[in-house]
Structure 1
Amino acid sequence: MNTPVMLRSQGESLATHLPPLLAEAEHLAATVLLGDHGRRRAGVGDTFWQYRPAQSHDAARSIDWRRSARSDARFVQDKEWQIAQSVILWVDQGAAMGFASDDHATKADRARTLAMALAILLNRGGERVGLTGLRLPPRRGSAQLAQMAQILSESETGDHGSPDAEGMLPHSRALFVSDFLGNIDGVTAALTRAADRGVRGAMLQVLDPQEEAFPFDGRTIFQSMTGTVRHETLRARDLKTRYLDRLAARKDQLQQLARRTGWQFHSHHTGQPATQALLWLYGALERQR
């Protein structure tokens, strides 16, 4: 399993094959929801957007001490130009992503490396990157990349993860990376909520070549990575057509979901060069400007 240092190094190596993602000079939303405060026009420069609770990685100079003095918590101001240049990432850290056949990388390692490489390109281009949820809001800098690598090196206990729509800033951009083979309801809910807030982005499905080809024959035992699901058959070949039909249906479902929400969708397997997927991600987020 990749360590944070190895993951960062692999991401750096992959990112060197592409030019930096050009920073968006003006990627501003027409309107921004502010909860009970209604809507207001998006501004530029240092225009105030909202207060948010300070995180451990926020520098002391970024704390708004006047606002913080009114409560027991510390708060930071988010600026509208920061919202416009923010990209939020989600990488499925469920146990199912740990699957690998032959000498291929695990789906988890490929997904994490691609996400880190993209984050490096975005950071190099002057954009702010973060993770879904409230644990790592978007920021720039090497410290942010290091903390992202640390978090992405963790694993979840269930077979499949689900994105957290919290912390997805209105009119920012986002990337979801998963095999998308589990229950899709959580992904659908998060993506729909993101689209309702004007968030545009991309979904990258990462699969193993065996999951694409289903090369099984004769007696075969299929078991989930956590061991909670197990199925034994004496004639695996008889399942091939049905399995491939269901996989095609899931890809079509994801494609339709992306089309409805204005996102991009692409499927990639670990037998393909990682640079192909990174090039697609690079172009997909460029088209979402």
Structure 2
Amino acid sequence: MVAPGAHGLRRAGPGEDFWQYRPASQGDSARLIDWRRSARSDAEFVRDRESQTAQAVGLWISAGQGMGYAGASDRPSKRDRAHLLALALAMVLLRGGEKVGLLGQPARAGRVQADRLAERIAAITARDGDGDAPAPDQLRPNQRLVILSDFLDDPAWVDALLARAAGMGVTGVLMQVLDPDEETFPYAGAVLFRSLSGVIRHDSRDAGGLRDAYLARLADRRDWLRRRATGAGWHFGHHTTDHPPAVALSWLYQVLAG
């Protein structure tokens, strides 16, 4: 597994990873000399390490009403799972020395920031509408961004976000979080479909007859998101709430370090 945390700048400086040997020069103290390497020649050599910097990561979690859906009482809602993933990812990144913050708020490092993020994520409240979108003007140059959403509402905001991100050197991840019922559409017979906000309603007499069309549209939406993400130099992933969160967390952890 590739640890996030400090990222090499490909130049000599403070860090942990070996960069290069160079001949010692006036001003280098004796403690900087690599005596083992120097013993193999008539000159003294210094072992340079690669300069590293903490990476700023922004987290955004959809607060749309639709994220409150859970298809069964023994499963978490999409919102609860997205909050868990965001907080767990933040803890891992902070442990690696990263600066982390919710989008639109300062990204900081350290244990105090972990407590602060836990409080702020828990305080996120649902919006009035079914969908939600991040504000592109909250992006900051060269940060990495993790977007957690079900992406079931109008996706036009994704294009706007990625276009602005490209001009600012912002890269990141789109992570789709769905309930397994939204993945398989296990309905049959007469079913009243209603969005959690109550704005959208559809009374079907043959829900099973809608399954193929629904699954095709879901696949199209997922392919669209993947193409948009890849074209912008981002990553796209998806997670279902009946799967272990550790799998999604591990994937997020690795792609952010890539």
- Classify the TM-score, shorter chain: 0.7 to 0.9
Shift of 1:169: 2.1
Shift of 1:114: 0.4
**Partner Cα distance (2:101, 2:200) in 1:** 33
Partners of 1:82 and 1:128 within 8 A in 2: no
| Selected match of 2:65 from 80, 85, 95 | 95
Percent of aligned pairs with the same amino acid: 42
Which residue of structure 1 lines up, in the alignment, with residue 88 of structure 2? 117
Which residue of structure 1 lines up, in the alignment, with residue 106 of structure 2? 137
**Partner Cα distance (2:248, 2:85) in 1:** 8
**Partner Cα distance (1:265, 1:171) in 2:** 19
Change (3 A) 1:124 1:111: same
Which residue of structure 1 lines up, in the alignment, with residue 30 of structure 2? none
Shift of 1:144: 2.2
The TM-score with structure 2 as length reference comes to 0.78
Shift of 1:200: 1.2
| Selected match of 1:269 from 240, 250, 254 | 240
| Selected match of 2:165 from 194, 198, 204 | 194
Deviations 1:83-107 (A, max 9, x none): 9610011111111000001211100
Change (3 A) 1:242 1:83: farther
Which residue of structure 2 lines up, in the alignment, with residue 217 of structure 1? 188
Change (3 A) 1:113 1:267: same
Shift of 1:130: 1.1
Which residue of structure 2 lines up, in the alignment, with residue 52 of structure 1? none
Change (3 A) 1:27 1:232: farther
Which residue of structure 2 lines up, in the alignment, with residue 152 of structure 1? 121
| Selected match of 1:231 from 202, 220, 230 | 202
| Unaligned stretches of 5+ residues in structure 2 | 16-50
> Number of paired residues?
218
Structure 2 residue identity aligned to 1:110: R
Larger radius of gyration: 2
Change (3 A) 1:196 1:243: same
Partners of 2:175 and 2:236 within 8 A in 1: yes
**Partner Cα distance (1:83, 1:168) in 2:** 20
Which stretch shifts more, 111-120 or 185-194? 185-194
**Partner Cα distance (1:257, 1:97) in 2:** 22
Change (3 A) 1:82 1:231: farther
Structure 1 residue identity aligned to 2:225: L
Shift of 1:183: 0.9
| Unaligned stretches of 5+ residues in structure 1 | 1-18, 29-43, 46-80
Shift of 1:188: 2.1
Partners of 1:88 and 1:131 within 8 A in 2: yes
Partners of 1:96 and 1:225 within 8 A in 2: yes
**Partner Cα distance (1:26, 1:166) in 2:** 28
2:251 paired with 1:280: yes
| Selected match of 1:244 from 196, 210, 215 | 215
**Partner Cα distance (1:20, 1:263) in 2:** 18
Structure 2 residue identity aligned to 1:142: R
**Partner Cα distance (2:94, 2:54) in 1:** 14
Superposition RMSD on alpha carbons, in Å? 2.3
**Partner Cα distance (2:58, 2:172) in 1:** 9
Which residue of structure 1 lines up, in the alignment, with residue 56 of structure 2? 86
Change (3 A) 1:174 1:165: same
**Partner Cα distance (2:131, 2:53) in 1:** 29
2:152 paired with 1:170: no
Partners of 1:137 and 1:167 within 8 A in 2: no
Shift of 1:192: 2.0
Shift of 1:131: 1.6
SS of 1:166 mapped into structure 2 = helix
